[in-house]
């Protein structure tokens, strides 16, 4: 029993209802001169009554842009859907975009090359006005590509040593160094001397910054047994790294994990090995989440307001789209929330 689909209201419908010519409607709705204020107001009222909206395609062809921003997430498929970070980030982004009637085109990609290919295609098809770029990395090819394509973008998390030399790219960076220093300080104060950092993907800029800070802090405090190992962020590699560490000749007394999922996996491995947490092993998770609060013992973790981070990134992008110059903004530093998984060594 299919009904005839509703017909989208056209400028002709508005002209008929408002009792004016079609060109008057066009002038009024496009904000061009040639009609009186009274007519303009009347046309706008009728358009609203009829639920008229400019077609996104028509707007795009008239040079107003696609009213859409893009976000590509390139992570190994096996690690997707694991962290809560991205959906929380996107929920914040969308609050801001929805207010401005901007759509979000979302794409997953297998790797950085596939991500660059998506940007080229979106650009060629004129699908997006700007981009939110995540997971900046060492030798990142994306800023130069976006500059070449002339696509405004906000990079979330700063690439190493990049001071904003690219055309229309703003940066929202987080202080990973300060955050890692607060973790090392906490563990050092509790008497821990053998600390291992189970890090994420080695090619990501923030992984490198965290590892560099760990080394610096360890040297500064005279701790020789402090190291990092890298993983793909998955629970499987987090568990495997923990198994290796706990079976070694000198197991660490504290482990810092680069995300919540690996920390939870590490906690389960400790239980398997009969290693009590925090009695024999302290655990800290980057990226606090519902997971960190749900385990027993609950995990000490770095807490940040991820939806607010997303909102801030979206605001930077809408400013760029409005023609404001690129900028570089620091997000609030995550704070350490101390729970039951850390205690004296």
Residues 75-134 touching a second copy, rule: CB under 8 A, are 77, 80-82, 84-88, 90-91, 94, 98, 101, 103-108, 120-127
**Identity of the residue, 95 or 181, whose beta carbon is nearer to a second copy in the bound complex:** 95
Smallest distance, a second copy to C-beta of residue 120, A: 7
Angle between helices 85-99 and 306-321 (to 10 degrees): 40
- The footprint of a second copy on residues 273-302 (CB under 8 A) is 289-291, 293-296, 298
Smallest distance, a second copy to C-beta of residue 115, A: 12
Which of 265, 284, 314, 331 lies at the binding interface for a second copy (CB under 8 A)? 265
Long-range contacts of 26-30 (CB under 8 A, 24+ apart): 29/54
- The footprint of a second copy on residues 204-263 (CB under 8 A) is 234-235, 239, 261
**Identity of the residue, 180 or 269, whose beta carbon is nearer to a second copy in the bound complex:** 269
Q: Does 26 bind a second copy (CB under 8 A)?
A: no
Contacts with a second copy by CB under 8 A: the residue count is 76
Give CA–CA dist 92/90, Å, rounded.
5
Q: Does 55 bind a second copy (CB under 8 A)?
A: yes
Angle between helices 205-221 and 176-189 (to 10 degrees): 40
* Per-position DSSP letters for 16-61, written without gaps between them: HHHTS-HHHHHHHHTT-SSS-HHHHHHHHHHHHHHT----HHHHII
Longest C-alpha distance within the chain, in Å?
88
- CA-wise closest residue to 186 among 335, 303, 293: 335
Q: Which of helix, strand or coil describes residue 247?
A: helix
Q: Does 156 bind a second copy (CB under 8 A)?
A: no
Smallest distance, a second copy to C-beta of residue 114, A: 9
**Identity of the residue, 134 or 291, whose beta carbon is nearer to a second copy in the bound complex:** 291
């Amino acid at each position: 029993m299919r009904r005839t689909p509703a017909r989208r209201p056209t400028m002709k419908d508005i002209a008929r209802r408002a009792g004016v010519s079609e060109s008057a409607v066009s002038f009024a709705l496009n904000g061009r001169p040639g009609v009186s204020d009274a007519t303009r107001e009347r046309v706008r009222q009728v358009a609203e009554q009829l639920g008229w909206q400019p077609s996104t395609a028509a707007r795009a062809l008239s040079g107003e842009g696609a009213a859409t921003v893009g976000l590509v997430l390139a992570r190994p498929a096996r690690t997707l859907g694991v962290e809560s970070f991205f959906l929380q980030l996107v929920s914040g982004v969308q609050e801001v975009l929805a207010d401005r009637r901007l759509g979000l085109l979302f794409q997953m990609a297998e790797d950085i090359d596939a991500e660059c290919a998506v940007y080229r295609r979106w650009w060629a098809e004129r699908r997006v006005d700007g981009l939110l770029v995540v997971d900046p990395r060492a030798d990142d090819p994306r800023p130069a590509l976006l500059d070449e394509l002339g696509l405004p973008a906000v990079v979330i998390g700063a690439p190493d040593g990049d001071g904003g030399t690219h055309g229309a790219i703003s940066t929202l960076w987080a202080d990973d160094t300060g955050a890692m220093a607060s973790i090392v300080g906490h563990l050092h104060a509790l008497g821990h001397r053998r600390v291992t950092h189970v890090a994420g993907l080695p090619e990501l800029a923030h992984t490198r910054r965290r590892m560099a800070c760990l080394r610096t802090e360890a040297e500064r405090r005279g701790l020789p047994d402090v190291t990092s190992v890298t993983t793909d962020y998955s629970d499987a590699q987090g568990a495997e790294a923990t198994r290796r560490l706990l079976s070694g000749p000198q197991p660490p007394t504290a482990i810092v994990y680069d995300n919540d999922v690996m920390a939870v996996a590490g906690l389960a491995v400790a239980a398997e090995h009969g290693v009590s947490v925090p009695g024999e092993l302290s655990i800290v998770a980057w990226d606090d989440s519902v997971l960190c609060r749900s385990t027993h013992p609950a995990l000490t973790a770095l807490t940040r307001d991820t939806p607010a981070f997303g909102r801030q990134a979206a605001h930077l992008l809408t400013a760029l789209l409005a023609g404001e110059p690129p900028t570089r903004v620091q997000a609030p530093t995550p704070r350490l929330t101390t729970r039951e998984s850390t205690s004296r060594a």
